[in-house]
Amino acid sequence: MKWSLCIGAYAGQDEIYHLEKIKSHGFDGLEYYAWWNLEDIKRTAKAQERIGVGISATCTKFISLVDESLRDAYIQGVRETIEACKILNVRSVISQTGNVLDGVPRDVQRQTMVETLKRCAPLFEEAGIVLEVEPLNGLVDHAGHFLQRSDESVDVIDQVGSPNVKLVFDVYHQQITEGNVIRNAVGYLDRINHYHIADNPGRKQPGTGELNYVNILRAIKDTGFDGFVGLECGYTIDTDEAIAQFKDEVLAKI
Q: Which residues contact 250 (CB under 8 A, 6 or more apart)?
A: 206, 207, 213, 214, 217
Pairing of strands 192-197, 228-231: parallel
Q: How would you classify residue 98: left for phi > 0, otherwise alpha for psi between -120 and 50, otherwise beta?
A: left
Element (H, E) at 93: strand 92-95
Contact by Cβ (8 Å): 10, 238: no
3-class secondary-structure state, position 180: coil
Please spell the DSSP secondary structure of 9-69, one letter per residue.
SSTT--HHHHHHHHHHHT--EEE---GGG-S-HHHHHHHHHHHT-EEEEEE-----SS-GG
| Short-list 34, 36, 175, CA closest to 95 | 34
Contact by Cβ (8 Å): 132, 57: yes
Residues serving a catalytic function are: 134, 232
Chain centroid, CA 115 distance in Å:
22
